[in-house]
Amino acid sequence: MFSSILVAGVSALALASSASAHLQIRSHFASFQPPNSLTPKTDKVERVRCSSNVSSEVYEAAESRFGYNRILIDTDNVAPRSANISVYFHVVSSDDSEENGNVSDDQISQQIDVLNEDYADSGLYFVLANTTRTVNEQWFSTAGPDTDEQTDMKNQLRQGDADALNVYTVGFESGSGTGLLGYSTFPSSFDDNPQDDGVVILFSSLPGGSTENFNLGKTLTHEAGHWVGLFHTFQNGCSEPGDNVDDTPAEAQPNSGCPTTVPDTCPDSEGSDPISNYMDYSYDACLTSFSTGQISRLQDQMATFRGINFSS
């Protein structure tokens, strides 16, 4: 009985990952270049935070797999838990220059620092294990979700096992990823496709990058959130069980920008929209927290699907 449910889960996961929605919006300013301008290039493309937006079928399959296999990490009465996560950083650029994707070691180091600040209460500590640099115009431009370019890129570059975070920085200039900030796989899908596992983000979203409103490094914080097993806070909209985390208020849709008045898009459920939660879509400056429930969930996800042993 278990196995038939799991098999159904596998095919639903496979089906929905290729059918998942990918929004692409580009403003007309995208190709505007001031003549002979000496001001630094600022990215005015209207960005879409993430395409790791799972359908209800994928959600159900992932949660049923989690339910059957769940390893519970006891978060009560214990000393702080910790585990080191190796990070393999793959810089893909269209040429040798920083503005065409060849981000510096310094930016990568700042990005790892942001990750560790944002995950400080999670027990996870990210350690840069290796950086690779590849010039590949096709991957840089086109490695969006479900493309041959991203498959090829991951097949050639991925390192480590289920417990290693592989991060690829690209340009998202054409195809299914146009205008994206990032996308990620989930822990529960590792076994089905280990080589696909990891996070792909826009190079200019790193701290100090050129993407307006999205250059404080929160893109990786958000995408790593999926990689450790969290859904968007607006998953399932106002309907139970939402993102399957008790202490993140339900919200009908993603928030954007930095709302000064906090909306309450699900008035029938407790709490206003969690606009400052890393798993919403607000600007980087407004993303500041994970909830206690998210931390508990991510520890269980990491133990269950990535073999992480938290030590106290």
Ligand X SMILES: *[C@@H]1O[C@H](CO)[C@@H](O)[C@H](O)[C@H]1NC(C)=O
Main-chain phi, psi angles of 68, to 5 degrees: -75, -30
Residue type, 266: C
Give the nearest distance from C-beta 10 to ligand X in angstroms.
19
CB 89 within 8 A of CB 167: yes
Distance in angstroms (rounded) separating the CA atoms of residues 173 and 201: 12
Distance in angstroms (rounded) separating the CA atoms of residues 31 and 45: 9
233 in contact with Zn ion (CB under 5 A): no
111 in contact with Zn ion (CB under 5 A): no
Give the residue, chosen from 50, 230, 245, 303, that forms a contact with Zn ion under the rule CB under 5 A.
50
178 in contact with Zn ion (CB under 5 A): no
| Binding region for ligand X (CB under 6 A) out of 6-14, 100-108, 206-214, 267-275 | 100-108
- Please list the alpha-helical segments (H only) found in 207-257: 218-227
> Residues 150 to 179: which contact ligand X by CB under 6 A?
none
Give the residue, chosen from 99, 133, 164, 236, that forms a contact with ligand X under the rule CB under 6 A.
133
Q: How crowded is residue 4: how many other Cβ atoms within 10 Å of its Cβ?
A: 8
Among ligand X, Zn ion, none, what binds residue 82 when CB lies within 5 to 8 Å by partner kind?
A: ligand X
104 in contact with ligand X (CB under 6 A): yes
**Which residues, in sequence order, are CB contacts of 171 under 8 Å at separation 6+?**
94, 100, 101, 140, 141, 202, 203
Give the nearest distance from C-beta 166 to ligand X in angstroms.
11
Give the residues across from 289 on adjacent strands.
277
- CA torsion through residues 282, 168, 188, 25, sign: positive
309 in contact with ligand X (CB under 6 A): no
Is 46 a known active-site residue? no
Among ligand X, Zn ion, none, what binds residue 50 when CB lies within 5 to 8 Å by partner kind?
A: Zn ion
- The site for ligand X (CB under 6 A) is made up of 21, 23, 53, 55, 82, 84, 96, 102, 104-105, 125, 127, 130, 132-133, 135, 254, 311
The catalytic residue positions are: 223
